[in-house]
Amino acid sequence: MTTATQIAGLVGAGVDRVDGPAKVTGEARYPADFGFEELAYAVLVQSTIAAGRIRRIDTAAAEAAPGVLAVITHRNAPRLARAPGGLGVGPPPPLQHDRIVHHGQHIAMVVALTLEQATAAARLIQIGYEETEPLLDIDDPRAKQVENAAGRDVSRGDVEAGLAAAEVVVAATYTTPTQTNNPLGLFATTAYWDGDLLTVHDSTQGTAFARASLAATFGIGESGVRVLAPFVGGAFGAGLRTWPHVVLAAVAARMVDRPVKLVLTRAQMFTSVGYRPATVQHVRLGATRAGELVAIDHEGIEPTALEDDYAESLTRATAVLYDCPNLAGRTRQRKLNVACPTWMRGPGEAPGVFALECALDELAYELGIDPVELRLRNYADVHPSSGRPWSTKALRACYEQGADRFGWARRSPQPRSMRDGRYLVGYGMASAYYGYVQVPCQARVTLGLDGVAVVRSAATDIGPGTYTVMTQVAADLLGLPLERVRLELGDSAMPRAPLQGGSGLTAALGSAVHAACTELVRSFTELAGSPPAADTYPGMLARHQLTELSADGASARRTDLDAEPGIFAAKFAEVRVDPDLAEVRVTRFVAAVDGGRILNEKTAASQIIGGTAGGIGMALLEQTLSDPGTGRIANATFGDYLVAVNADVPDIDVIFTGEPDPINPVGVKGIGEVAIVGVAPAIANAVFHATGRRLRALPITAEQLL
């Protein structure tokens, strides 16, 4: 049987994306690209207040407008069930009552023969509100606080006693803003009913989860729903839930008895598919003069929606990154009149590590210890809470190799002491961690008389290269060239797969493909009586009068290792700051990542580069602004919501360290989430080194520096 250490050949090679040609030629079809006979178009009408009730809604003019097939409101929408809570299912079903709980809530939908007709008719709907004072401020004493949501608090030892005994204490408050996922592709849903069978083309990160959610919402069996997402135009976590607009597309299709397409506008993306919630984080670090951490206290507060249970942990990385005997980590949610937040790349860890790693940098300067050295002095050789060994951990190598490649030794320790001409130069670094869990996944491989192996799974590929690396894994295990393996993904009718999120799909799907291919080789071996050569597959099928052979595989995380999984990295940033204009530019960046087995060097490096670009945006640019009185998003366009573009992103040097992770048979760790974690604090720490100004609120702007 092939083991992880025996997988060789194509795996690890930086081959081009197998789905690249389809994407650049337009052959790849995204959810908005599917057309049908008698296709109708839906347009949403959204609330212009954040709290209250709909007192009056006049749809007569819209209903009489040219081409309109239906106007749907809470008065005529079908009664729907709320899907069970948990990852991958959405907020309460839409159009079930007249209450308004956030600005931008869907309150009506127009369905017409053309998009233009639906858009024009939607403007004709007149709405009167009974407005109440909204809860919009996280410090509002009326806001309900959610304690220890889903058991996310972490602790060990006695943190207050540790702080009292510490020789040095650093305490500070850090804030991060609301950020919106903003994938390039607008989220779209095309839905149609064939009798009692609902088919949905959707921008989802998990077809099986979307199927389950829609089935529960409409009160039908999962066999009555099919969800397709072979290509998704980016998501960054926004596709992990089944959102109200998806449900509304299906409602519209049933009510007008024809296929319906609903594409969100860019402005609607800001209120319809989640966002990273703002945070206020209080950190206290206690240490000896020699730099030994004796206590860490980290509390975070973030908003959530009134009718949602979304929660994330800001302190999960805090609990495991350093060997510290006394620790308390708490995340609190406060219920506000805001749209539902959701997971965004590096959820919890990205903002949480910003606070922790900036505080560590402050401690390093307070103690006069090099920031890398301080982290090495508190290195956690085993999991600090459980005491169990890591399945693999190469963070020490990340520090050493990253610092060497970056040239950290050239750093002058004194802030504002390095220059390049008129520019202030700063070096900063940060650790990164992301915990992943391999969840069950299934795959099927079929090899026919044409000698082509077809691998199928319901999993999606939102851009990290899943099509490519799974093709490589299957090709290696079957001994076939890449062109004789075809991946088919993104169909809930295929073998069940988890969401593409949480850096877990590569391990889950890779293990399932590994199992299926291994079983298929075993079946061919039984036919041949000896291990077959790849070019004999069709011949063996023909001799036994078979047209094809199939094998199923399922993933299973090893539980016999008594070890903790973890993804680690070290990030190093150089910035140049204009002392007169206070303009900050990231001019160099090195990311050293403990990524387990790297299945494709090119796509893996691309993941780190993309995450780093997102981290630059997090540090210097991205901030979703809302009116403090009304809750209206004020910058819901790409002209006003700034993301990092080519001119903002330097060449990014990526180093992969470590060894295959034995916790799964392919030896991989997911790297999509850890790619962004640690980028913002590395940049913030570099800005302090360059300017001597400690800025604890993101994004770092010229106004703050001036």
Residues that are catalytic: 673
Angle between helices 207-218 and 244-256 (to 10 degrees): 60
Q: Coil, strand or helix: which one is 588?
A: strand
Q: Coil, strand or helix: which one is 453?
A: strand
Nearest-angstrom CA–CA distance, 255 and 191: 12
Cβ–Cβ < 8 Å for 231, 252? no
Nearest-angstrom CA–CA distance, 102 and 632: 9
Which tokens hold the place of 241? 């839930």
> Which helix (H) or strand (E) is 55 found in, with range?
strand 52-58
Nearest-angstrom CA–CA distance, 590 and 651: 9
Angle between helices 349-367 and 601-620 (to 10 degrees): 70
* Helix, strand, coil % in the chain, rounded to nearest 5: 30, 25, 45
Which tokens hold the place of 539? 């011949």
Nearest-angstrom CA–CA distance, 228 and 203: 9
Which tokens hold the place of 265? 């506008």
Cβ–Cβ < 8 Å for 45, 110? yes
Q: Coil, strand or helix: which one is 138?
A: coil
Cβ–Cβ < 8 Å for 218, 77? no
Nearest Cα to 656, choosing from 588, 594, 570?
A: 594
Cα 395 to the center of its chain, rounded Å: 22
- For β-strands 652-657 and 293-305, DSSP reports them as unpaired
Q: What is the dihedral of CA 360, 365, 368, 369, to 10 degrees?
A: 30
Which tokens hold the place of 467? 């099509």
Cβ–Cβ < 8 Å for 312, 347? yes
